[in-house]
Amino acid sequence: MRGKRSVAALSGAVLVTLATACGSGQDGGSAAADGTCTPDRAGGTVTMGTYSEPRGLDPVGQPGNAVTGGTEITALFDTLIDWNATKQAYEPRVAQSLEPDAGFVHWTLTLRPGVKFGNGDPLTADDVKASIARHQAPDNAQASRGEVAVVSAVDVVDPHTVRFTLNAPYPDFPHVLATDVGMITNPRVVQQRGADGFAKNPAGGGVGPYEVERYAPGEEIVLKAKPDYWGGPVCVQTLRFVRVAGAEATYQALANGELDVAFLREPQVIAEARQAGYHDLSTLINYGEGVIMNSAAGKATANLTVRRAVVAAVDPQGVNQRVFNGTAPATSALVHPDTPGLYGGEQGPAHDPALARQLVAQGRAAGWDGTIGLVADNTPTRVNEAIAVKAQLESVGFTVRMDTSQPLQDVIKRVTVDRDYELALWGPQFFAEGTWASINRQLNSASPANYYSYRNPDIDHELGELRAAASTDEKKAVLGRMQLAFNADPFAANLAAVEESVVHRDRVGGLQLSRGSIVRFDKAFVSDGS
């Protein structure tokens, strides 16, 4: 790939070309007020209801999608590469270009000229290298370390050029730089404040369109527009992010005019919002709703017989009807049939109460006492879901200790940091974009973000095949073999794919949907200027 030819990478069935873009170069947008941000539309405040709070505002140490603060953090730091969900394509953003060699092992990134951090420091190739090294650090236990594990060397060619060397071919490498890894942090500000201080106050440390004005955990996050953002004028002057417990309460706050934008993840509420005529930007996520199982030693779920009993006992359709009124895309399979380009027809494990009873009896005969712990956050829907799953498990002989006392952020920590659970209602979230990365960082035996302590050499092998797959048919074949492996040795009982939707009022226009259900506000505006 010498000689400046076009850069092409395969993502699912979509041929993606990375070329120089003007400004932010985004076409994906809102169906509300027409157009994009222009100087005459400057002004106004937008309040967004979020799913949960981030644990801090540093891209390092965050799970990285919209459910965990991805929209807020992206507004502060931007990304080198963007996933344009409307076009289903990678596009340069803070980067001017990203070009691979013929084998997709060496990638050359050129930075856009004139980009500055919030404190005025120019963004350089050395800053990119230093920022990526933070994600590679051994003490980073979050998803970004797994994402960046594909990189074996980062070399500074000149002040605006970085050369990445990967440990194996990876045609979808642009995905890595569209995640938290591509959110470049100012190393001088990080050093001055320390990691903890930077997470609480990253002012001056990012190149995104907004700067933090107020970070009050449990209350709100307020961001102010930069007057000199590299991507052009920023119209919405103030962004305010608040969490409202539960999708129904979040939707009602939108309907009452308390929110302008709302992140929804419950199918019945998304359906209600659509019926009411709200605009929405949606993403379908495979394995988005399920019961994950901890295979760590000392847990009941370390026993394969117990894990298979859980999977046989859980009925996705039953949970769908009881909790979601039949509106969820229920399936036990790894890939939902509505996923473009990835579904090959393979079926997930069947709901089989008789088999579940038999397996529970086998486990008890081997010395297990039949008890198992189930944790879920305390939002109303999660509590109802936990009650439904508990009933299904107890109907086949389990004794379930259910804990729904904690808020979502505490359950996230309990699973991802403390690994203190046996069963948890959780969304592994395997996106169509970056499918290999999504699965690999969670289920590769060596991944630090393997929250399940799951070890399966067959899956490790298939993950290698999935990374190298260059065509849709190859990806389908690999995912089909993985489904068979998960049927025999499960890490979770899948309940449904999940649709995430960002819904918004008519006054908001110019929103852009990116990876992980993140929305970008740099080209957004409010039609009434308030």
d(CA 308, CA 493): 9
pLDDT given for residue 427 in this prediction: 84
d(CA 347, CA 310): 17
**Going along 467-506, which residue ranges are E strands?**
492-504
* Angle of the 247-255 helix axis to the 380-394 helix axis, nearest 10: 150
pLDDT given for residue 529 in this prediction: 59
* Angle of the 304-313 helix axis to the 380-394 helix axis, nearest 10: 110
Q: Assess contact for 53 and 218: CB atoms under 8 A.
A: yes
pLDDT given for residue 468 in this prediction: 87
451: left (phi over 0), alpha (psi -120 to 50) or beta: alpha
Please give the CATH topology (third level) of the domain spanning 284-499: Dipeptide-binding Protein; domain 3 (3.10.105)
pLDDT given for residue 292 in this prediction: 97
At position 308, the amino acid (one-letter code) is R
- The C-alpha torsion from 447 through 451 and 457 to 462, rounded to 10°, is -70
d(CA 241, CA 434): 27
Phi, psi of 372 (to 5 degrees): -150, 145
Q: How many residues does the chain have?
A: 530
Note the pLDDT tens digit of each residue in 248-261.
899 999 999 999 99
Domain ranges for the chain:
7-256+505-526, 284-499
* pLDDT < 70: residue spans in the chain: 1-34, 63, 141, 529-530
pLDDT given for residue 34 in this prediction: 64
pLDDT given for residue 18 in this prediction: 52
Model-level pTM greater than 0.85?
no
Q: Which residues contact 469 (CB under 8 A, 6 or more apart)?
A: 436, 475, 478
**Alpha helix locations (H) across 137-186?**
143-148, 174-177
3-state secondary structure of 292: strand
d(CA 516, CA 82): 11
Q: Assess contact for 288 and 429: CB atoms under 8 A.
A: yes
Which CATH superfamily hosts domain 7-256+505-526? Periplasmic binding protein-like II (3.40.190.10)
Q: Assess contact for 109 and 144: CB atoms under 8 A.
A: no
pLDDT given for residue 528 in this prediction: 76
pLDDT given for residue 383 in this prediction: 95
Q: ∠ at Cα 187 (186, 188), nearest 5°? A: 95
Q: Concatenated DSSP letters for 100-129? A: E-TTSSEEEEEEPTT-B-TTSPBP-HHHHH
Q: Assess contact for 181 and 155: CB atoms under 8 A.
A: no
114: left (phi over 0), alpha (psi -120 to 50) or beta: left
